[in-house]
Amino acid sequence: MEQRELPVLLVNEVGGVRGVLEAHVEFLKKHFHLITMKEFLKNKKHWCKKVQAIYLWWHKPIIDRELLESLPDLKVIANSGVGMDHLDLKLISSFGVKMANAPHAVSSSTADTGMALLLASARRLVEVNGATLGIIGMGRIGYKVALRAKAFEMKILYHNRNRRPRRTGVSRTWVC
């Protein structure tokens, strides 16, 4: 059986404080030939036509026009987190490159952290039970916070650019 060549994936670095986690690297290496930005810059001429994907970790590597112009076969940029406001999406799409992110990756843990901070600031659980909670932004995370607050019989007020349709499980009031 003929062994196929794995597509080349560019990452900023591996390990360390800001590098891709070792646990992720093991998975990624099953599907890609990984190179770091350091390796890429050392031999740009060799790698530039081989890189087909970039995996962003902690907003790195920085995606700019110069990098995009140097990668003619780049097909996709995958962001390891939720937000993509650090990326110029118009620029990226002008090169025909697709974007991917992980919008649900941290919704629950972020909502849990929000509730933990709320409980810590109340200091006594009795202060939270029946209290009123204001949520700015009723997206995925805001809704998950509201679900958790329901367990404490909290009255939930929220603001969002647009009034959200009623979702099952949470009674809440929209405020402008």
Instruction: Enter the CATH code of domain 8-100.
Output: 3.40.50.720
Looking at residue 95, its pLDDT comes to 97
pTM of the model: 0.68
Looking at residue 1, its pLDDT comes to 44
Q: Which CATH number fits domain 107-174: 3.20.20.70, 3.30.420.40, 1.10.287.3510, 3.40.50.720?
A: 3.40.50.720
Q: Mean pLDDT throughout 1-13?
A: 82
**pLDDT tens digits, residue range 142-154?**
989 999 999 888 9
Q: How far apart are CA 27 and CA 20, in angstroms?
A: 11
Q: In what order do the strands lie in the sheet containing 155-159?
A: 132-136, 155-159, 173-174
**pLDDT tens digits, residue range 160-172?**
888 877 766 677 7
Q: Identify the weakest region by mean pLDDT among 5-9, 83-87, 134-138.
A: 83-87
